[in-house]
Structure 1
Amino acid sequence: MSKRKIRMGMVGGGRGAFIGGVHRMAAALDGQVELVCGAFSSNPERSRLSGEDFYLPTERVYGSYAEMIEKEKQLPLGERMDFVSIVTPNHVHYGPAKMALQNGFHVVCDKPLCFNMEEAEELVALVEETGLIFALTHNYTGYPMVKQARAMIEAGELGDIRKVVVEYPQGWLSTKLEDTEQKQADWRTDPSRSGIAGAMGDIGTHAENLAEYITGLEITELCADLTAFVPGRQLDDDGNVLLRFNNGAKGILHASQISAGEENDLNIRVYGTKGGFHWRQMEPNTLLVKWLDKPVEVRRTGVGDLYPTATAHTRIPAGHPEGYLEAFANIYRNFAHCVQARLAGETPDPLLMDFPGVKDGLRGMKFIEKVVASSNSKEKWTKF
């Protein structure tokens, strides 16, 4: 079979949504994916109007994800969608993901994976049972210098890892924004849609995923202190977590949405026996590498002798900033490459098989569960 564009159906992401537009831009960036259908809202009329915005045929715009999956399955391969992209609030991840997998469709899902651990474990089992490809959009793993940092640790350049400090401060929920009918604040602070955690579920999972991805280590125990600082808010808007890793390393994870004045300053510092490094999402093309016995090195995207995985995820010549959308697009590009290889009966390029999957989602859901349990416990230290 000759290779072709991979055909995407979207659940959510219609008019008024934020992350749906990010997914569509990221998916389209490399010309490997095309949007062919969608159920863009739980409101059928809003879904229809959103389909018009995207210039889709009326018959490929659906009133529900169930209708979309059922009708798309009846179309011939190459005309029907190849995968479902799920860009809804947390409580609407599990249903479409499960139905898509049960009907033979690959899945891209926004994070966190779903609403609770029971749903997460069922999705992991379904992916293993079906053998379908599942990507989770922990997009910060897509940055070239994050890939470089991971490769340096894998190669032993930093020695044995001892200390991990990962932070994700934001300030946008410093006031009770959810009372103003702001859509993004409304669902993120609602336990019936967000789940048992607020800031820790929304951005703390990004910090957890980044720490485990870069270091290759796993959290084994944690001690958490979560707070809802804004009066009347039902879920945490700030959290501090002590971490213990499986190699004996210790860590600190801090995630906050009431750090007034902060924008989106996800950053990580990792220290080993030979040296350390510092990476910031707001300056993503720079990796500061610090050594015991020589000056600080400034590693830059596209410059010098980088590891192949960093080079494979670099798109443009040095000095041209690559950012959030490009990192997001790297996940879609790699996912599409693997789906294309599957359709063609070929083996994917190992460098392009690097994207977060359903088991990373399970780790994230476990992190949420254990952080909340630890914060509520008098014992504090909780096995991961």
Structure 2
Amino acid sequence: MTRVLISGTGFAGRGHAEAFRAAGAEIVGVVGRTREVVEEVAREMGIPHAGTDWQAALETCRPDIVSIATPGGAHYEPIKQAIAFGAHVFCDKPMTADGDTAAELHALAQEKGVKTAYAASFRYAPSVLHAKALVEKGAIGAPTEVECISHFNLEREIPFGWSHRRADGGGRLNNNFTHTLSIVTSVIGDEIVQIAGEVRDDLGRAPIVEGVHNFATRRDFIPRDLDDPSLEWGESDVEWSYTVMARLRSRFADAPVSVLFKHGGLVPRFREDHIVFYGSKGAIYLEGHYGSGALHLHDGKAWQEQPLPAEIAAMVPDVAGETEQCWHHLARAFVRDIRGETVEPYPTFREGRQYQRIIDLIRESGNWTDAPALA
């Protein structure tokens, strides 16, 4: 049986473990920062090894696969050690905190000959898979443009943590754009021709609170009294909003496809978040920021909601939660590939490296032209 070692004890760590178990793998160990927490997780999930030393866990557990489920800033060393050990690597997004380290790890994995999976995984949402099938069948003709719009209205008082720090893999580009870019490239085509964008930190600071170990429950730690003079504050150094424009080459179109990615992490939505694929003969509208809601098809005359095809419905993992379903889908493909079975292409460290390079470029926001100079 395929043996898996998990790095991380929070929402993603637990989710990855369940996904690999559902794929028929054995979870042989889990590693975390805090002994009490990792031992509790191992006990609750029936995992035989619990530890705080990653290198020691590699030697003790002898995994075929390691699953990296910690914040992006903590990915580099564990992945490097796992590659040197010879384990295949399943890594959540962002791959690392910057493009240089992502490129290094991609090169090391290639040299070592280990397989990699990069979990920008909302491309596996059922409606996204449906949209991909419709585009391939020519339902919208030649794709011309794509629009990805989302507004999260996140609480500004969420406790200060990795999501506020660039060095730890924080920021909305790392944790939102990675998914939408993966969705668009899976449906339209993954040859990114040009890209430009700008970012904005409209948060500034967040309260420092002890005891937050699980990203999914961080809201439970929002301080009741934000005016408490004893409260400490941490300074954000990442973007909470972004606007990105891209041009993608598609095998379904002669001209590059224009793509708009617009995300506001702290602002309220008025209409629903959505992803739309426009073409020469029609359009596909997906409800939800990651396109995981209902799918509507415009045939050139009117919009009509489309039922999910039975063959796609049959592929949906039997587990609650959109994020968890997508992890299950990718873990299943990864395990099957490692076992030598034929699978559809899935995102790897190639995409992880490319996305981190793109994020670095967008954060530079170096594409502005001073308008007064044009007067």
Q: Is the 8 A contact 1:170 1:262 kept in 2?
A: no
DSSP-derived class of the 1:332 partner: helix
Structure 2 CA distance for partners of 1:69 and 1:209, relative to 1, 3 Å: same
Kindly state the Cα deviation for residue 281 of structure 1 after the two structures are TM-superposed. Answer: 4.0
Kindly state the Cα deviation for residue 289 of structure 1 after the two structures are TM-superposed. Answer: 1.3
> Residue 287 of structure 2: which of 277, 280, 285 is its match?
280
Deviations 1:219-240 (A, max 9, x none): 3223322111123432111111
Kindly state the Cα deviation for residue 253 of structure 1 after the two structures are TM-superposed. Answer: 0.4
The CA distance in 1 between the partners of 2:149 and 2:278, in whole Å, is: 15
The CA distance in 2 between the partners of 1:187 and 1:51, in whole Å, is: 23
Q: Is the 8 A contact 2:118 2:348 kept in 1?
A: yes
- 1:187 equivalent in alignment to 2:162: yes
The equivalent of 1:149 in structure 2 is 131
Kindly state the Cα deviation for residue 126 of structure 1 after the two structures are TM-superposed. Answer: 2.2
> Residue 225 of structure 1: which of 198, 207, 223 is its match?
198
Q: Is the 8 A contact 1:109 1:136 kept in 2?
A: yes
Q: Is the 8 A contact 1:143 1:313 kept in 2?
A: no
Q: Is the 8 A contact 2:130 2:308 kept in 1?
A: no
The equivalent of 1:36 in structure 2 is 28
Structure 2 CA distance for partners of 1:187 and 1:336, relative to 1, 3 Å: same
Kindly state the Cα deviation for residue 140 of structure 1 after the two structures are TM-superposed. Answer: 0.7
The CA distance in 1 between the partners of 2:326 and 2:270, in whole Å, is: 21
DSSP-derived class of the 1:178 partner: coil
Q: Is the 8 A contact 1:331 1:355 kept in 2?
A: yes
The CA distance in 1 between the partners of 2:3 and 2:366, in whole Å, is: 45
DSSP-derived class of the 1:146 partner: helix
Kindly state the Cα deviation for residue 204 of structure 1 after the two structures are TM-superposed. Answer: 1.6
The CA distance in 2 between the partners of 1:36 and 1:62, in whole Å, is: 11
The equivalent of 2:19 in structure 1 is 26
Structure 2 CA distance for partners of 1:21 and 1:272, relative to 1, 3 Å: same
The CA distance in 2 between the partners of 1:152 and 1:109, in whole Å, is: 29
Structure 2 CA distance for partners of 1:359 and 1:266, relative to 1, 3 Å: farther
- 1:164 equivalent in alignment to 2:146: yes
Q: Is the 8 A contact 2:7 2:68 kept in 1?
A: yes
- 1:208 equivalent in alignment to 2:176: no
Q: Is the 8 A contact 1:207 1:266 kept in 2?
A: no
Q: Is the 8 A contact 1:44 1:64 kept in 2?
A: no
The equivalent of 2:223 in structure 1 is none
Q: Is the 8 A contact 1:171 1:262 kept in 2?
A: no
The equivalent of 1:129 in structure 2 is 111
Kindly state the Cα deviation for residue 27 of structure 1 after the two structures are TM-superposed. Answer: 2.6
Structure 2 CA distance for partners of 1:93 and 1:315, relative to 1, 3 Å: closer
The CA distance in 1 between the partners of 2:201 and 2:321, in whole Å, is: 35
Structure 2 CA distance for partners of 1:115 and 1:231, relative to 1, 3 Å: closer
Structure 2 CA distance for partners of 1:199 and 1:359, relative to 1, 3 Å: same
Structure 2 CA distance for partners of 1:63 and 1:314, relative to 1, 3 Å: closer
The CA distance in 1 between the partners of 2:344 and 2:244, in whole Å, is: 31
Root mean square deviation, CA, Å: 2.7
Kindly state the Cα deviation for residue 48 of structure 1 after the two structures are TM-superposed. Answer: 3.2
Amino acid at match of 1:72: C
Amino acid at match of 1:258: L
The CA distance in 1 between the partners of 2:147 and 2:54, in whole Å, is: 40
Q: Is the 8 A contact 2:147 2:260 kept in 1?
A: yes
Kindly state the Cα deviation for residue 297 of structure 1 after the two structures are TM-superposed. Answer: 3.7
Task: Give TM-score scaled by structure 1 length.
Answer: 0.78
DSSP-derived class of the 1:269 partner: strand
> Residue 89 of structure 1: which of 71, 74, 83 is its match?
71
Deviations 1:208-262 (A, max 9, x none): 2211121114332233221111234321111112222334222210122102369
Aligned residues: 334
Q: Is the 8 A contact 2:96 2:169 kept in 1?
A: no
The equivalent of 1:336 in structure 2 is 335
Structure 2 CA distance for partners of 1:31 and 1:378, relative to 1, 3 Å: closer
Aligned residues with identical type, % of pairs: 21
Amino acid at match of 1:280: E
The CA distance in 2 between the partners of 1:231 and 1:92, in whole Å, is: 23
> Residue 368 of structure 2: which of 369, 378, 384 is its match?
378
Deviations 1:165-198 (A, max 9, x none): 012321224x14235xxxxxx1110123126xx1
The CA distance in 2 between the partners of 1:230 and 1:314, in whole Å, is: 37
The CA distance in 2 between the partners of 1:285 and 1:314, in whole Å, is: 14
The equivalent of 1:313 in structure 2 is 315
Q: Is the 8 A contact 1:238 1:258 kept in 2?
A: yes
The CA distance in 2 between the partners of 1:215 and 1:270, in whole Å, is: 9
Structure 2 CA distance for partners of 1:225 and 1:356, relative to 1, 3 Å: same
Task: Give TM-score scaled by structure 2 length.
Answer: 0.80
The CA distance in 2 between the partners of 1:218 and 1:266, in whole Å, is: 25
The equivalent of 2:352 in structure 1 is 361
Q: Is the 8 A contact 2:292 2:322 kept in 1?
A: yes
Kindly state the Cα deviation for residue 69 of structure 1 after the two structures are TM-superposed. Answer: 1.4
Kindly state the Cα deviation for residue 298 of structure 1 after the two structures are TM-superposed. Answer: 2.6
The equivalent of 1:237 in structure 2 is 240
> Residue 70 of structure 1: which of 41, 59, 71 is its match?
59
Kindly state the Cα deviation for residue 312 of structure 1 after the two structures are TM-superposed. Answer: 6.2
Deviations 1:22-63 (A, max 9, x none): 2223333x3512311121x12344333432333333xx2222
